A and B are shown apart, each in its own frame.
Chain A
Amino acid sequence: MRYLSVSFKLWVGTTIINAIIVACWAFINNGEPASAVGFVVLFGGIFISFPLLAPATWLLKAAQALPYSATAKIVWVACMLLLQNWLFLELLSRGLLGSPIMDGFASAVSLSLVITVRLMRTSLYKLFAVDKNGLYENT
């Protein structure tokens, strides 16, 4: 359950930050109403990326099994989530990832994921630093 709650936080955080970044991008591009774009990306992102919760939870569990320090596990999870998001976008866009819009969107998703992991480092550290006996790795 702990893994699910952390992956849920990661997923929600990434989706919200991604919506903000895309809204800012829409604002820069003029024309499009930024807030509307932001809301569409937020709710569309929640709806579309919902299946990613399961592999994200599995990745957190896999990271826990690795014989590395908590910091190393966090970096590993971030990289794997980044890879997972790119693969998901590649599948979803069916080869459109080379286009400027999709590339921009992929950049926004990647940036929002990195920011979310950075913001959630305490939760992630607590998750990974505890061993089987419930002790923190440095104690």
Chain B
Amino acid sequence: MNSNVTKLILVIGGAFLFNYLFSNEQMGVNSTIYSLLVVVGIRVLHRQALKGATTRWLLAAHLFSLAMVVLHNTGLSKMAYSVTLALFAAFALHVHRSAWFAAGSFLTNALCMPASFAENFAPFRVRPFRIKSFSRLFRFALFPLMLLIVFFELYSAANDAFRQLRNALGRQLQLFYISFFEVFSIRHFQFLLLGWFITGALLLKSNVAWFIKKEGLCTDELKRRKVLWGDRAHTPFYQLMSTVMGRFAQGMMALKNENVAGIITLILLNAMLLVVNLLDINHLWFNFEYTSEEPAYRMVHEGTELLIASIVLAMALLLFFFRGNLNFYRGNKWLRYGAFAWIAQNIVLVISVAIRDYYYIARHGLAHKRIGVLLFLLMVVIGLVTVYIKILRKKTRYYLFRVNGFACIIVLVLASGVHWDELIARYNIQRKEMVLPDIPFLLQMSDKVLPLLEAHRDVLKTYQADYQEQLNKKKAAFIKRQQQLSWLSWNYADASTAAYYSQHENPVKQ
């Protein structure tokens, strides 16, 4: 079969399948069918696509996320599912090494999708009637049609019999349109179009190769470049340095002067951060005690904000000094040592914030943001290690962003493997004797937590009576929602909750 015809069948068929699978449904087992279509579609349309190692790894990550959607059905697993599917398609269709550039190519695919679709299928356009004559007819009919409406109004106002005929005709047409729009509503059409858009973006390759060309110019290894004086004088970095350092940023000694400025900067910053870290080690690591003057939440939030500011500054600063030829300067030994010390100190700062978070969890229980801080800290450590490698092995910024991009994906996919709501609720309820659980917070969680709350109604009873009522309402909403969904939305998390209620009281249709 011609590849254009295959594309046509896959994209249009995919749009209808998307509409059938996801219209008035939630993500569940239907995601498996859609993923299968996309993977098979890519394999059929682009035979070489699945041969790349990155593509295969992304496919594995996608299958893991898909399993988590069916198993846990959390927001995070759905996000991981969407991200890995988009990146898998981008890596399969285009030549990329970095997730950021691949994401750019996927967005280009999505943006240009209608044009890619029309480009592929223009030679196969079917013309059931003569468009030219239709257009001509429409143009000629436009003005008479407007006049017809005006005179129709006049006659029906003046003549009773004509008005009755018009009313009878109107009623029939009204009935036709009501039944027509029940089937072909604009919402339905928009959803179908969304399916067409997403399927096309995943399967069709756009003609815009901007991101591929840009990435083609990037390498992992930093190369020494001779920049002509005239070219250097026009760069923003040079102008900034020239403003700050004056004549020291110019001439033959510019690189040496920049090295000296870098060493002084890093010595001062390291000294300041050392004081902060020593205070933290003394106060937090070994001699920590809760005081009523310093609430735990303020301590964690301030610590995290400090870390974010410090890390951003650290990265930007190191990237500034190690942006070019200073990497190859023979006398940069102390600058490198200063950078390594700065990275090590930031890792100590990360540990301090992790300890703050631990104390906060121990005092107030688990919550999403508290877990989010831990995941963020993990990403920060990976970021700092890659900056260390960048300086040590003379790597480019492209390398830094590439590795950190993949680290982000790995963390996202692995984090989707845990049902955080269930973990948080179980942990907080288990420690109810030590820490009073935040009941409104527990009631906001996903439906998977419902059996746990039902089994621990005593926790709700110790509070105001309306919490029990809220749980009942949440249960009723869950049962009602489940009855509206078909097998397409099946997932283990909802099925286990439904099974719990079926065994204990109200049967729930699945």
Q: Is the CB of B207 within 8 A of A106?
A: no
Is B288 an interface residue when CB atoms closer than 8 A count as contact? no
Is A107 an interface residue when CB atoms closer than 8 A count as contact? yes
Which positions 181-197 of chain B face chain A at CB distance < 8 Å? 181, 185-187, 189-190
Name, among A68, A69, A86, A98, the residue most crowded by chain B CB atoms within 10 Å (CB to CB). A68
Is B91 an interface residue when CB atoms closer than 8 A count as contact? no
If over half of A's interface residues share one DSSP class (helix, strand or loop), that class is named, otherwise mixed; here it is: helix
Is A115 an interface residue when CB atoms closer than 8 A count as contact? yes
Q: Is the CB of A98 within 8 A of B115?
A: no
Question: When A35-B153, A68-B207 are in contact, do A29 and B181 touch as well, CB less than 8 Å?
Answer: no
Q: Is the CB of B207 within 8 A of A29?
A: no
Is B233 an interface residue when CB atoms closer than 8 A count as contact? no
What separation, in Å, do the CA atoms of A118 and B135 have in the docked complex? Answer: 8
Contact string against B for A residues 70-93, beta-carbon threshold 8 Å, 1 for contact and 0 otherwise? 011111101110000010000000
What separation, in Å, do the CA atoms of A110 and B186 have in the docked complex? Answer: 9
What separation, in Å, do the CA atoms of A72 and B113 have in the docked complex? Answer: 10
Contact string against A for B residues 106-147, beta-carbon threshold 8 Å, 1 for contact and 0 otherwise? 000000101111110010000000010001001100100110
Contact count band on B: 20 to 34
- B-side contacts of A27, CB under 8 Å: 149, 152, 170
- A-side contacts of B153, CB under 8 Å: 33-35
Q: Is the CB of A68 within 8 A of B119?
A: yes
- B-side contacts of A63, CB under 8 Å: 115
Name, among A23, A72, A100, A119, the residue most crowded by chain B CB atoms within 10 Å (CB to CB). A72
Residue of A nearest to B153 (CB): A35
Is B177 an interface residue when CB atoms closer than 8 A count as contact? yes
Question: When A20-B146, A27-B152, A104-B181 are in contact, do A72 and B119 touch as well, CB less than 8 Å?
Answer: yes
- B-side contacts of A78, CB under 8 Å: 114
Query: What are 15 pairs between A and B in contact, CB < 8 Å?
Result: A28-B174, A29-B174, A35-B149, A38-B146, A66-B112, A66-B207, A66-B208, A68-B112, A71-B119, A71-B122, A72-B116, A103-B186, A103-B187, A107-B189, A110-B189
Q: Which residues of B come within 8 Å of A, CB atoms? A: 112, 114-119, 122, 131, 135, 138-139, 142, 145-146, 149-150, 152-153, 166-167, 170-171, 173-174, 177, 181, 185-187, 189-190, 207-208
Q: Which residues of A come within 8 Å of B, CB atoms? A: 16, 20, 23-25, 27-30, 33-35, 38, 63, 66-69, 71-76, 78-80, 86, 98, 100, 103-104, 106-107, 110, 115, 118-119
Minimum-distance CB pairs A-B, first 4 = A75-B118, A79-B114, A76-B115, A72-B118
